[in-house]
Amino acid sequence: LKQPVSRLLAAKFGSFLTFGALRSGTESAPGQPTLGQLRDMYRIPKQCPGTKVFGVIGKPVAHSKSPALHNQSFEATGFDACYVPLLVNDLSAFLASPLFGGDSFAGFSVTIPHKEDALACCAVVDPIAKKIGAVNTLVRQPDGTLKGYNTDYSAAIEVIERAYELHLGCERTGTESILCGKTVVVVGAGGAGRGLAFGAVFRGAGKVIVANRNLERARTLAQACGGEAVALSELQSGSVKGDILANTTSLGMYPDSVDDTPMPKEAIRAGGFKVVFDAVYNPLETRLLREAKECGCAQASGLDMFVGQAAQQFELFTGKKARIDVMRRTVLNNM
């Protein structure tokens, strides 16, 4: 762990003082919060010993909008909790530590690269998450153990379904998904890729194709979900055809790879895709989505998926109905 989380939770743990930078740009060390963030985002003045603590586990994690989103949602619903960023290298060691493995932390969001490893850290796993083989939500149980869930898959699939319906100019009738019989091409074979691949299968996709730099990882996922595997280079050549293209990798994310794309524009056009989804939500329109629009494809937003999965997490954490309007507005205000 490399996150000075004690600064963000000073009042929770009984400290009279904490410190931060006066304003952005005047930090004395990387990752130091500003006084405004301590007051408004982490709500130091409202913390008390009974404040529940949640956090997002990842590497990297500094870019995450989850703390802003969840803390504002706690405020909007009157729930006494604080949500913090947690930069973690070794997940099992982190969750076994006295502080983070104890009752002080009531739950966690899990992001890249820990979603598959998190499965082994759970005493109980939701059946769908177990089938997918990845969890993005950990909830502390009354006995102190963790239960794992996956809210990625349903949020991503709902966004893709809506985009496809808009592309066709129709609304869904009945229970059959618009993905039924369609070919879904998933870029990436990590935790998010597993969620989307299985989600497509659950919704009746006719074929799921997994593309990944590491072909063996693609084959492992394809075998698990009953799909096919191709090398990423084959997909990028334009020889792979499909109805939906879904990027679940971090390529294109701010700040390190905003000029990059997992799929050249020519390959999008050659593949005949109708809808292109990008799990990256910062920037709002990635190069992949921009070029997909130029090819006449409908865009499925990573922002909508991010808010959707977070809303489900919030309800698992708190038992309260999520304020999706507050969540979306908060993320947009913090871009």
User: Which residues are identified as catalytic?
Assistant: 115
List the one residue out of 180, 222, 221, 175 whose CA is nearest residue 203.
180
Full strand arrangement of the beta sheet holding 207-212: 228-231, 207-212, 183-187, 244-247, 275-278, 298-300
Strands, E, within 2-157: which ranges?
Answer: 52-58, 81-87, 105-110, 124-125, 137-140, 146-149
- Measure the CA–CA gap between 77 and 83, rounded to whole angstroms: 14
Instruction: Enumerate residues 6+ apart whose C-beta is below 8 A from 271.
Output: 185, 235, 238, 240, 241, 242, 245
Q: Which two tokens stand for residue 104?
A: 């002080």
User: For the chain, percent helix, then strand, then coil, each to nearest 5?
Assistant: 40, 20, 45
Query: Angle at Cα 316 formed by Cα 312 and Cα 319, nearest 5°?
Result: 110
Q: Give the burial string for 51-89 (b: 16+ CB within 10 Å, else e).
A: bbbbbbbbbebeebbbbbbbbbbbbeeebebbbbbbbbe
* Secondary structure of residue 246 in the 3-state scheme: strand
How would you classify the pairing of strands 207-212 and 228-231? parallel
Peptide bond into 113 cis (omega under 30): yes
Looking up tokens 């997940």, which residue turns up?
91
Phi, psi dihedrals of residue 207, rounded to the nearest 5°? -150, 140
